[in-house]
Amino acid sequence: MIEIKLIENNKKDFLDLLLLADESESMIDRYLERGELFALYDNGLKSVCVVTRESDELCELKNIAAYEKWHGHGYGTKLLNYIFSYYRGKYREILVGTGDSPWILSFYQKNGFSISHRLKNFFTDNYDHPMFDNDVQLVDMVYLKRDLQGE
């Protein structure tokens, strides 16, 4: 049975998963404590995500990851749908920033996000080494938004 828990203590216990989505621990430290961490269990831990409050109207998905062995099993989508319901009525919109990689953009677009804006050279300016996703070098950060009302 799938269970999703809000984790309030010892959030660093989930660092192995969080590092799959954001390879810099110092970047993770900037949002993990103030963020809400959700963990999905299905016969053991499979996936996590972190959401922060950005304003009265806006929250941001800072991290979402599933263990590599379990990619493509629907856990990421389940976690997204859970947080959409969880934050409906609390915020108007949810934002996510990601590398400019076609499959990850399509993952978010399939889940109702649409492209909002870009931060030019985010990955080249903020990380001390080149970042890649399946051989594609990440340069810009692409922001996508999704409405949380009206469903």
Ligand X SMILES: CC(C)(COP(=O)(O)OP(=O)(O)OC[C@H]1O[C@@H](n2cnc3c(N)ncnc32)[C@H](O)[C@@H]1OP(=O)(O)O)[C@@H](O)C(=O)NCCC(=O)NCCS
Q: Which residues bind ligand X (CB under 6 A)?
A: 20-21, 64-66, 71-77, 98, 103-104, 107
Q: Which is nearer to ligand X, 103 or 150 (CB)?
A: 103
DSSP 77-123: HHHHHHHHHHHBTTBSEEEEEEES-HHHHHHHHHTT-EEEEEETTHH
Please name the helix (run of DSSP H) or strand (run of DSSP E) that holds residue 124, with its range, or none: helix 122-126
The answer to whether 111 touches 146, Cβ cutoff 8 Å, is yes
Residue placing its CB nearer to ligand X in the complex, 8 or 68: 68
Nearer to ligand X, 21 or 56 (CB): 21
Task: Please report how close the Cβ of residue 141 comes to ligand X at its closest, in angstroms.
Answer: 10
Kindly state the smallest distance separating residue 60's Cβ from ligand X, in Å: 11
Residues contacting 76, CB < 8 A, separation 6+: 47, 64, 66, 107
| Smallest distance, ligand X to C-beta of residue 56, A | 25
Amino acid letter, 22: D
In terms of CB distance, is 84 or 107 closer to ligand X?
107
In the block, tokens 């990619």 appear at: 71
Determine the residue with CB nearest ligand X. 76
The least CB distance from residue 103 to ligand X, in Å, is: 4
